[in-house]
Amino acid sequence: MGVMNKVTIIGSLNIDTTFKVTNFPLPGETIRAFNKSSAAGGKGANQAVAAARLGAKTTFIGKVGNDQQGEFMIKALKQEGIDISGIKVEPATGTGTADILLNEAGQNCIIVYGGANQTLTVADLAGLDQQIAASDFVVAQFETPQAATIAAFKLAKAAGKMTILNPAPASEILPELLSLTDIIIPNESENQRITGIEITDLNSMKKSAAKFADLGISRTIITLGSQGVFYAAGNRTAQLAAFKVKTVDPTAAGDTFIGAFVAKLSPTMENFTEAINYAQKASALTVQHLGAQVSIPTVAQVNQAFGF
């Protein structure tokens, strides 16, 4: 398998509760759910699980509440072989949660309660500088405060490590965080929120990448759902088609993409396109199953599905 990438992920830990419904409710409407399930989730935790299952040595930085849900989340990550020494317990706030509505067309709506995730501070990174410095990549999202991410990215940059930002869910972004980011991976709506450019065609994707480059980010990947992925790396730009599969549940597809990407990507970047293709294969498997972390594939499952 070769040398394992070392990845540190700073992010959220949530208990996901999925309600399967026929259609989404209209304002003021009460509807019935015909199935309910709960599992470990959170964008950060999902990305860490994906990175670990797909071959990376993974460390997690985050926060849970002093409750059963927090204990469950820590145990879930530990069982994946993830280093949990960077997870702190917040005594005054409960563990984060996400309620997911999933309709019969395979579309979802998600309501996130940040809980302990939103209490992560710069002080919580104390003593983790060596773990960050030992990583090949440091990855973050927007379900934890940007100030903590900025501090983590500063430690990474000081050690000469690569930083990857998934600006999800869509939010205002601090300019300092952009200046510390090497690779940014938004979806279409997140891209528009940051750049002001609506994704309509290849030209609009190139304009978005150019704007990110002006902000100091040398590599951009825009995930496009069923339309695949666009990337810009230096003078290279391309749109790669998605693998055609039946979508059962898109939850965690983007997180799987990012975890697989950092697990596969060489720290020297020479396999950038190959890593994107691998990430698309992994996320294509994720969307064919219900749930978040339970649907994230392993290396063996990707290899079996795509004939490696």
271 in a known ligand binding site: no
CA atoms of 98 and 18, how far apart (whole Å): 8
225 in a known ligand binding site: yes
Residue with tokens 């209209």: 26
45 in a known ligand binding site: yes
DSSP for 25-93, written as a single string: PPTT-----SEEEEEEE-HHHHHHHHHHHTT-EEEEEEEEESSHHHHHHHHHHHHTT-EEEEEEEESSS
DSSP H or E run through 306: helix 299-306
Residue 90 CA from chain centroid, whole number: 23
Residue 255 annotated in active site: yes
124 in a known ligand binding site: no
Q: Which of 67, 83, 124, 255 is catalytic?
A: 255
228 in a known ligand binding site: yes
221 in a known ligand binding site: no
187 in a known ligand binding site: yes
65 in a known ligand binding site: no
DSSP for 112-159, written as a single string: EE-GGGGG--GGGGTT-HHHHHT-SEEEE-SSS-HHHHHHHHHHHHHT
226 in a known ligand binding site: yes
Which residues are annotated as catalytic? 255
Annotated binding-site ranges for substrate: 14-16, 42-46, 143, 255
Annotated binding-site ranges for ATP: 187, 223-228, 254-255
Annotated binding-site ranges: 14-16, 42-46, 143, 187, 223-228, 249, 251, 254-255, 286, 289, 291, 295
Annotated binding-site ranges for K(+): 249, 251, 286, 289, 291, 295
